[in-house]
Amino acid sequence: AAPSKVANGTPSAITVEEFEDLASLSQDDEASVSITVVGASGDLAKKKIFPALFALYYEDCLPKHFSIFGYARSKMTDAELRDMVSRTLTCRIDKRENCSEKMEEFLKRCFYHSGQYDSEADFKELGKKIKQHEGPRVSNRLFYLSIPPNIFLDVVKCASRSASSENGWTRVIVEKPFGRDSESSAALTRGLKQYLVEDQIFRIDHYLGKELVENLSVLRFSNLVFEPLWSRQYIRNVQLIFSEDFGTEGRGGYFDSYGIIRDIMQNHLLQILALFAMETPISLEAEDIRNEKVKVLRSMKPLQLEDVVIGQYKSHTKGGITYPGYTDDKTVPKGSLAPTFAAAALFINNARWDGVPFLMKAGKALHTKQAEIRVQFRHVPGNLYKGAFGTDLDRATNELVIRVQPDEAIYLKINNKIPGLGMRLDRSNLNLHYAARYSKEIPDAYERLLLDAIEGERRLFIRSDELDAAWELFTPLLKELEQKRTAPELYPYGSRGPVGAHYLAAKYNVRWG
Ligand code: NDP
Ligand code: BG6
């Protein structure tokens, strides 16, 4: 029955031949694609989804016959949606040629339908509206769930029953959080699978759509110089670092029931880790890559409390300005223990990575906004140049840095002779600085991921077994922290985070980069 579900979201018997006909029809240039942004009145829709759709339109990446529908409870007319979209649309395209003409054209293809999230009747009306725009063409429909997770299932039920395609594909993009632990995530997956098959579900982790994260496999598997070094034999430790220089700012309500470990580590940083550490996939096909990622996750030991440090930012005054602490946010319960910072050491129990610490660090309200991967290599054996660096022996090791954002770059710290008559060494960077090397601006992660979902490319989306494996690593720790009511170490807003993170790194002979 799976093929029929892929086609229209409701089980019915069609043959494999019929399914193949349908699949080829739905890839037809003349097929229509309708994208419904559920929760169109919300923050993510305005900030990311509509701008990404417009950028795709501007770049001629959307199919010829496309329409976009906003759906939410708020009352809005088509004109009001268009006004909202055009006013909030700040994106990389803004200063390009013909931007306003393109915007006019784009807005003509955006429509709004107001309805309840649990009303099949309202979704039926939406379905009728979509149908009017599709005309007699093959109908392909994408629903983007940009809504709080407690209403995911209501929407999937109503959309699949009352607004899914009758003769093309129906796909659903689901935003995180995918549950808060193994049990709730499994319940969500079971719930979704009552109405959809796995191939219809596109679980988004927008870090996978970031240019330098996508480039990780290229760097590794297409350059002879890196892959042979990619193991415990040469790599001393790997660091995955995420920091933001602002607090929860308005999202405290959501954040408090999740905390930084669920918000960033269990998904964004763990996904990067899996891509970084996986074995060579058989091909670049989605299933081959996802199979390798799952193997890495399953080779890891669940996180241990003694290998984790948690922190929470407190108010801090600097230059006459007082920055609020996390619990000063009105949407955060007084005395909340939710971590806004965490550092952890993880290990992969396989032949390639045995004993290599993978250190993760994620925090809000820190001194800088940055996401990077740091690979610290072992010392060169022997001591041929001992003394040539002065006393700082640590400087003699190589380090590869992949700066995911901002100001994307890949640089390798190498040892080099300082030009001159003496024999003095320093450490210099072989630097691939994207802004200097590539003139074209980098698309937003949401552009890549939306385009992939439209094209049915699943490589950058999370499969349910990957999700299960990811939660298995974090759930015992999260439960222990909550049961023990572990108090986070306080750190001042705008600082480098709690000192405990340095002790954790030192335990494994690591210095944060
Ligand atoms: P919002 O809180 O802005 O909610 C989106 C829309 O959902 C609202 O405009 C509202 O529309 C409706 N809504 C909000 N709360 C409820 C409720 N309790 N019951 C029913 N409907 C409600 O969310 P975001 O746009 O910030 O995020 C959407 C999804 O994306 C969430 O799952 C979030 O976790 C995830 N996400 C968000 C990010 C961000 O930067 N904002 C980043 C990464 C993920 P209306 O009242 O008109 O129906
Ligand atoms: C989201 C988190 O997934 O990623 C937010 O929920 C965080 O808390 C955001 O701010 C960071 O994304 P980016 O792309 O701005 O680094």
The answer to whether residue 268 is catalytic is yes
Q: Please give the helix or strand (H or E) that residue 219 lies within, else none.
A: helix 211-221
| Catalytic residue of the set 268, 316, 367, 379 | 268
Tokens of 8: 């229209």
Rg of the chain over CA atoms, in angstroms? 25
3-state secondary structure labels for all residues of 112-160: EEECCCCCHHHHHHHHHHHHHHHCCCCEEEEEEECCCHHHHHHHHHHHH
Q: What is the pLDDT of residues 129-157, one digit of tens each?
A: 999 999 889 999 999 999 999 999 999 99
Q: Is 444 in the pocket of ligand 2 (CB under 6 A)?
A: no
Distance of CA 237 to the CA centre of its chain: 23
Using CA atoms, how far apart are residues 173 and 155, in angstroms rounded to an integer?
Answer: 12
**Among 273, 252, 277, CA closest to 205:** 273
Ligand 2, atom 4: closest residue by C-alpha: 264
| Start-to-end CA span in the chain (Å) | 52
Shortest-distance ligand to the CA of residue 255: 2
Considering every ligand atom, which ligand is closest to the CA of 261?
A: 2
Write down the pLDDT at residue 86: 87
**Amino acid letter at 350?**
N
CB of 263 closer than 6 A to ligand 2?
yes
Are residues 249 and 272 in contact, defined by beta-carbon separation less than 8 angstroms? Answer: no
DSSP state letter for 303:
P
pLDDT tens digits in sequence order for the chain, 513 residues long: 233 343 444 434 445 555 555 555 555 678 999 999 999 999 999 999 999 999 999 999 999 999 999 999 999 999 999 999 988 765 566 667 788 888 899 999 999 999 999 999 999 999 999 999 998 899 999 999 999 999 999 999 999 999 999 999 999 999 988 999 999 999 999 999 999 999 999 999 999 999 999 999 999 999 999 999 999 999 999 999 999 999 998 777 889 999 999 999 999 999 999 999 999 999 999 999 999 999 999 999 999 999 999 999 999 999 899 999 999 998 899 999 999 999 999 999 999 999 999 999 999 999 999 999 999 999 988 878 877 876 655 557 899 999 999 999 999 999 999 999 988 898 899 999 999 999 888 999 999 999 999 999 999 999 999 999 999 999 999 999 999 999 999 999 999 999 999 999 999 999 998
For residue 248, the ligand 2 atom closest to its alpha carbon is 8
pLDDT digits (tens, 9 = 90+) for 94-107: 667 788 888 899 99
Pocket of ligand 1 (CB under 6 A): 39, 41-45, 72-74, 117, 146-149, 151, 175-177, 254
Q: Using CA of residue 246, residue 251, residue 256, residue 258, what is the dihedral sign?
A: negative
Query: Is the predicted ipTM greater than 0.95, yes or no?
Result: yes
Query: Which pLDDT score is estimated for 382?
Result: 82
